[in-house]
Amino acid sequence: MLNFNFKNPTSIHFGEGQIQAISTEIPLNARVLLVYGGGSIKSNGVYQQVTDALKEHTWFEFSGIEPNPSYDTLMKAQDIIKAENIDYLLAVGGGSVVDGVKFIAAAALYQGDANNEDGSGESDPWDILAKQQPVTKALPIGAVLTLPATGSESNGNSVVTRDGTKLSFSSNLVRPLFAVLDPTVTLTLSDRQIGNGVVDAFIHIIEQYLTYSVNGKVQDRFSEGLLQTLIEEGPKALAADTKDDLEVRANIMWSATMALNGLIGAGVPQDWSTHIIGHELTGAFGIDHARTLSIVLPALMKVRREQKREKLLQYASRVWQVTEGDDDTRIDQAIRLTEEFFEKMQVPTRLSDIDLGSKDIDLLVERLEQHGMTALGEQGDISLAISREILTQAL
């Protein structure tokens, strides 16, 4: 096991009816900005429950956060924050809303870089993303999660898009102070949202698991338990006779939070190359985040099978109960089962499934190079050439 520091102070309120917890989690004297995406929270009753819980609070609202939240949209929230002296942000939505609120929270109190190029000391919150300027202050955040997927509700990570480029930042100061996880609110999600969410969470776990062994037995078994849970429960959330089963939704929701709250990744190597390559697919072609991952991961498993051999065998045996045949047969079988699981979740596993071909790979590799993504993976040895090989394998 590697040395680590782990701390996750987000207060989780899990279960039916827990939205009311925001009435006590947010101080009564706060000036709250309720931030959400489109209108779905109005049609499914979540908006009503949230505003009921805020009836003793002073609150305002800002909506229109889109999937892959854009810098331009997020910066528009600064006007109301200044005008109304907002001092608490409440994100109500999926990972995009929570990620967006994190940037809004950091941008609102960003003091800039006194050493910036023109020496003016002026603050441009874009620098948090583009120059990885450290966040030293941020507005406090609470979250009501409506789509289990990203784990953003209890971590400090945020991904923001500007002009087709996805950039991220991370800070403990933007980790939500509390998160409400009520699985009943996920019953109105579309199959596409469920499929994407389950696959996103699944691949978060894989990125912290499928590397090389450091004999972190607790981390490995926790990861395997989460993967097995998503494999069992994910398809049930799409099947006609089980899609309204609240227990299925609860197990998916808790798995997705645990998948990326820092716990399973503490003390083990990580490989985020599937995400990084996938980001370029979203940036260049507007593909849903999870659907980029389900295309890249199986290809990455095939191309990196030697480097990941030991863990692929463990994955085959413990997650898929594949124990017959020689090593390579078992690895092949595990990769095939992974693809079949993605297909059950109704996400693509090939570039051809989304009408991309070999002609598009140059652009993706070029963008990886532009973004400095030239040494990916747990050992930093996934070069641009290997990323190209992975994309070619995914054709």
Backbone angles phi, psi at 376, to 5 degrees: -95, 175
Exactly one of 10, 70, 96, 208 binds a copy of itself (CB under 8 A); which one?
A: 10
Exactly one of 54, 160, 205, 226 binds a copy of itself (CB under 8 A); which one?
A: 226
* Shortest separation between residue 5's beta carbon and a copy of itself, angstroms: 5
> Are 9 and 263 in contact, with CB atoms under 8 Å apart?
no
Applying CB under 8 A, the span of 109-117, 142-150, 211-219, 362-370 interacting with a copy of itself comes to 211-219
Q: Restricting to residues 19-38, which ones interact with a copy of itself according to CB under 8 A?
A: 21
Q: What does the per-residue mask of binding to a copy of itself show for 308-327, with x meaning CB under 8 A?
A: --------------------
Cβ-proximal residues to 386 (8 Å cutoff; 6+ apart), any chain:
303
Exactly one of 233, 280, 378, 389 binds a copy of itself (CB under 8 A); which one?
A: 233
Exactly one of 28, 55, 117, 215 binds a copy of itself (CB under 8 A); which one?
A: 215
Please give the Cα distance from 174 to 154 (Å, whole number): 9
Exactly one of 16, 72, 122, 381 binds a copy of itself (CB under 8 A); which one?
A: 16
> Are 57 and 28 in contact, with CB atoms under 8 Å apart?
yes
Please give the Cα distance from 234 to 290 (Å, whole number): 14
When asked if residue 198 is in the footprint of a copy of itself (CB under 8 A), the reply is no
| Sequence letter at residue 106 | A
Phi-psi region of 8 (alpha: psi -120 to 50; beta: other; left: phi over 0): beta
When asked if residue 49 is in the footprint of a copy of itself (CB under 8 A), the reply is no
Q: In b/e form, how buried is each residue of 289-299, taking b as 16+ CB within 10 angstroms?
A: bbbbbbbbbbb
- For a copy of itself, give the closer residue by CB, 3 or 29: 3
Exactly one of 2, 114, 239, 385 binds a copy of itself (CB under 8 A); which one?
A: 2
Please give the Cα distance from 64 to 97 (Å, whole number): 9
Exactly one of 12, 81, 98, 356 binds a copy of itself (CB under 8 A); which one?
A: 12
Exactly one of 228, 270, 317, 383 binds a copy of itself (CB under 8 A); which one?
A: 228
Q: Restricting to residues 243-302, which ones interact with a copy of itself according to CB under 8 A?
A: 247, 250-251, 254-255, 258, 263, 266-267
Exactly one of 88, 222, 320, 342 binds a copy of itself (CB under 8 A); which one?
A: 222
When asked if residue 241 is in the footprint of a copy of itself (CB under 8 A), the reply is no
When asked if residue 216 is in the footprint of a copy of itself (CB under 8 A), the reply is yes
Please give the Cα distance from 279 to 300 (Å, whole number): 15
- For a copy of itself, give the closer residue by CB, 76 or 217: 217
Exactly one of 42, 131, 137, 221 binds a copy of itself (CB under 8 A); which one?
A: 221
Long-range contacts of 16-20 (CB under 8 A, 24+ apart): 16/182, 16/183, 16/184, 16/246, 17/182, 18/180, 18/181, 18/182, 19/46, 19/49, 19/50, 19/53, 19/144, 19/180, 19/182, 19/185, 20/49, 20/52, 20/53
Helix H segments across 54-151? 71-83, 95-108, 126-130
Applying CB under 8 A, the span of 132-140, 157-165, 215-223, 273-281 interacting with a copy of itself comes to 215-223
Please give the Cα distance from 7 to 27 (Å, whole number): 23
- For a copy of itself, give the closer residue by CB, 21 or 382: 21
* Shortest separation between residue 18's beta carbon and a copy of itself, angstroms: 7
- For a copy of itself, give the closer residue by CB, 24 or 370: 24
Beta strand 178-181 with 165-170 is: unpaired
Binding site for a copy of itself (CB under 8 A): 1-18, 21, 215-218, 220-222, 224-226, 228-229, 232-233, 247, 250-251, 254-255, 258, 263, 266-267
